[in-house]
Structure 1
């Protein structure tokens, strides 16, 4: 695939551009002194790549100048003629006003003008946007980028000024690695599907783990209790069957007996036990209260001294001091003991309150059972039995819901394990693929790497290297390095000019490696000579010309101040722009 011709329905405002098979130069001359120091001249040389991208079905972007100034361009219709691998041609028609409707005309002759052909006479007229992409993908038949469509990598063939920041990741693709890394891996000779599937399966694994976390939160403490849940369900089912049999037979004798047994053997014993326990707690509480009151020390050393004086005994100062220390010591012990007693009292009161609540519930249940036994109203007993069945069924429903959730959790955990195994397999397969392509002599990647190094050496006078490996997260990563004379890494590639030249070297290396493939054999570089010294310009121009002789179609833009010493031929210059008047702009109109 190569570009052949670009034109519009308004030839007076946009001159048709016919592309060469080799080097194509868009040159802007700056005549006005006030414009010579400007970085941007609004002549439209950089817009050429955007227009080509628009004709190759880029999405409608409100920030694109065609739509940002739609009042100026709404009547424009663009036509891009491309050469297909079959040596036939395809013209793509796309208007600004109806950008979602695209028409196609296939033909055998080059440099045609279909701007005046009625829309009804086109081979495929006003095809909807999504269908147009599929149709164009079929026409182009770029098998070397399969299974990806032509749009996936078209940006790598249209390098704008902002796309010289990174060889492998264009600014327009920045975002999720799964959106661009698989394609880059594919065109470099690796298995792009392995890269894509690794990301997709890892994403599925992360989502599955989130689902498991949500399910565990929903289950709470019973998440790991399937066996216990099954046992409780069995008990409840047995109770339900027994209650249902009683209800079906309308015979409540066994029900009465059950209530009596429950009352005598169960409730009364439990009530008696709890009453005894509550009595014991109240005794302990009384003991604690008394202990708290007895912690006051009533000994008076001064009174004791007077008593000893009256008895004729000398109460020495040391004895008094010892008594005061003894009192202080006992008071400290008493304070500590009092704290423990207060804590014990609080615990007793808390436990007593719980016992009283439980006794209240049991006494209520005892009262209901006695009422049931004493009732001679069979309908009352039927109602109570029905209520019991409803309660059991509700319990069963809750238990079965918990069982269902636990089984779902176990299924998710099995799926998580399977996904983890798939991810491990994908990672191992990817690593094997990367190692094979890196080590296999004559592999597509090693050829690209060799061409890249050769171009960098010829242009920059230094060796450069591209490498592909896996990072700490076991994901594929791409890296370029500019080497010094000893083969070590140098910081030279951090400069914008060097980075730009490495991007060009990468693009041309890809072109050469895919020269015999069904691949887009054109590449557009905007402002490629800007900020380069004369030697670098000459070296780069020589490489461009050599690669165009191989069959690569190169389109470059520059201003006259960036011209290399070597002259461009008239055939190589496909478009001349200037700032003398509006006729020198790519769109011959006032600046927009």
Structure 2
């Protein structure tokens, strides 16, 4: 993949930038009246690279694209799209992505008309276009686009640590996950790394689930240890059997002549007496209000309503209503003494029925005396409710315990697979010795060129580390004086160049560009000059690549830095693909 050009439309925020083969400087130039380096911050160098990243389908949120989001909130990017033109294997492509609708992207092949894609769909398509290798023996996933591209796009973010460990190039991801991407980019078989990542992911997912369900069981059932769950189930089984036995005894006891039909009959009789009392009270109200009310009750209609429940009850209801209406008609034309007499009779009837209700209630309660005396249950309804609750508790506990045990078994199986994988990883170096050695030679040649004064016998290796989740450890310049000067910048520089040049030497599908934003901040300028010379030599050898870096004017490079005449400020400015200054910012005064 070679970058061609980037610009905005329909309005141009800046002149279209054309990428070139070799070194692409994004240059921060001082103004004549300016002497401080601080004035070169915020002129748009990193923002320009953000636009490139945006065109390559980066996520567009305030935490991932703070500079662009701030510009959009100011209205600077309103109505604009970024267009990136590039080529892969001599086929021309173009991406157009709008800031207004970042999840909808336009894509063109060989100057054809743009077609609409969702970001996710185009990510998968681009991943295959840019990274798919025909003869690669390892694992590849078309969902990897952004994970792989971020290796080639080292763009500094506000308040983020600069140039972390080169192996940890995406800080948020684990080494176990990153290993599969790094081995893929180095064209070394990554199947074991991918298998390990899957196993570690499964373990990571299953462990909190096991912990959560264990906590739920302990707290829900009042037990101290998960082993008590089995004992609790047995206790519930015994309690269920005892309740079932009590219910069976309750239904068949000859001593108390108890059966369900008799209990139901008593309940029905009590309810009927309640209803008759209710009706008589309604009659009393009707007598007292008869002078002011009309008769609008339809006994036949009410009878039909109750016939669905109980025909005898319905007849009684109808009869009672008929009598009530009859009495009401009499009341309308009778004297007050007659009304009082009828009310007294109804009150007496209600009292007699209440006595009957109490008697039948005593009789019904006697059916439960046996169970009540043993402080068990006082009603069949409570018996079945208690039985149901314990059966549900038993079923739930058994179910939760089974899930817990299944998860433990699954975890054990994963750990067994992990042990098998560890055995294969011990043989990993031997199996991939040829590829690893070839990459190590390339790495050493870059290291010796850029840092000729340093001599470290241990500069690159891939070794088993079974104590770590990653299982494989990629070692890059473990300990030397270079780290005290440029921290991880020097390690990142060498390793990234090795991956880029390895892809070129082996003619494998991968980006031929590499973006380093501010990598030389604080580094010895002699290394910058050596890098320039090294890349110029690679270009003369016919290697096609694009090394894109931001660089600020910092004064004269003297002979103390090597061949300083090759890399003058004037030369950098002349070769730069984009020159920015405090008076010529990328987005104006924003």
Equivalent residue, structure 1, for 2:181? 183
Under a length normalisation based on structure 1, what TM-score does the superposition of the two structures give?
0.65
Q: 1:174 to 1:159 in 2, by over 3 A?
A: same
Equivalent residue, structure 1, for 2:496? 507
Alignment partners' CA distance in 2, 1:51 and 1:177? 28
Equivalent residue, structure 1, for 2:251? 244
What are the within-5 Å matches in structure 2 for residues 412-427 of structure 1? 412-427=403-418
Q: How much has 1:211 moved relative to structure 2?
A: 0.9
Equivalent residue, structure 2, for 1:174? 172
Q: Equivalent residue of 1:550, what SS?
A: coil
C-alpha distance after superposition, 1:91-130 (max 9, x if no partner): 101122333332111116xxxxxxxxxxxx83313x3433
Equivalent residue, structure 1, for 2:302? none
Equivalent residue, structure 1, for 2:530? 539
Alignment partners' CA distance in 2, 1:460 and 1:68? 40
Equivalent residue, structure 2, for 1:29? 29
Q: How much has 1:502 moved relative to structure 2?
A: 1.1
Alignment partner of 2:402 out of 411, 414, 417 = 411
Asked if the contact 1:27/1:557 (under 8 Å) is kept, the reply is: yes
Q: How much has 1:80 moved relative to structure 2?
A: 0.2
What are the within-5 Å matches in structure 2 for residues 24-423 of structure 1? 24-38=24-38, 40-62=40-62, 64-70=66-72, 71-85=75-89, 87-107=90-110, 122-125=113-116, 127-140=117-130, 142-143=132-133, 146-147=140-141, 148-161=143-156, 162-170=161-169, 173-174=171-172, 180=178, 182-184=180-182, 186-188=184-186, 189=188, 190-191=190-191, 192-203=193-204, 204-221=206-223, 223-225=229-231, 226-246=233-253, 251-252=257-258, 379-382=364-367, 387-423=378-414
1:16 lines up with 2:10 in the alignment: no
Q: 1:423 to 1:470 in 2, by over 3 A?
A: farther
Asked if the contact 1:201/1:423 (under 8 Å) is kept, the reply is: yes
Q: Equivalent residue of 2:82, what SS?
A: strand
Q: 1:534 to 1:51 in 2, by over 3 A?
A: same
1:482 lines up with 2:471 in the alignment: no
Alignment partners' CA distance in 1, 2:462 and 2:130? 30
Asked if the contact 1:75/1:95 (under 8 Å) is kept, the reply is: yes
- Segments of 5+ residues of structure 2 without an aligned counterpart are 260-359, 372-376, 558-563
Q: 1:570 to 1:32 in 2, by over 3 A?
A: closer
Q: How much has 1:65 moved relative to structure 2?
A: 2.4
Alignment partners' CA distance in 2, 1:181 and 1:214? 36
- Segments of 5+ residues of structure 1 without an aligned counterpart are 109-120, 254-374, 484-488
Q: How much has 1:52 moved relative to structure 2?
A: 0.6
C-alpha distance after superposition, 1:154-205 (max 9, x if no partner): 22111135542321223x6436667655534544533343233123211212
Q: 1:37 to 1:402 in 2, by over 3 A?
A: closer
Q: 1:433 to 1:22 in 2, by over 3 A?
A: farther
Q: How much has 1:89 moved relative to structure 2?
A: 1.3
Asked if the contact 1:481/1:493 (under 8 Å) is kept, the reply is: no
Q: 1:93 to 1:481 in 2, by over 3 A?
A: closer
Q: Equivalent residue of 2:5, what SS?
A: strand
Alignment partners' CA distance in 1, 2:390 and 2:502? 65
Q: 1:23 to 1:434 in 2, by over 3 A?
A: farther
Q: 1:540 to 1:466 in 2, by over 3 A?
A: farther
Alignment partners' CA distance in 1, 2:101 and 2:25? 31
Asked if the contact 1:157/1:522 (under 8 Å) is kept, the reply is: yes
Q: 1:81 to 1:395 in 2, by over 3 A?
A: same
Asked if the contact 1:236/1:392 (under 8 Å) is kept, the reply is: yes
Alignment partners' CA distance in 1, 2:470 and 2:128? 32
Under a length normalisation based on structure 2, what TM-score does the superposition of the two structures give?
0.66
Alignment partners' CA distance in 2, 1:580 and 1:65? 17
Q: How much has 1:237 moved relative to structure 2?
A: 2.3
Q: 1:406 to 1:99 in 2, by over 3 A?
A: closer
C-alpha distance after superposition, 1:332-381 (max 9, x if no partner): xxxxxxxxxxxxxxxxxxxxxxxxxxxxxxxxxxxxxxxxxxx9975444
Q: How much has 1:505 moved relative to structure 2?
A: 1.0
Q: 1:406 to 1:534 in 2, by over 3 A?
A: closer
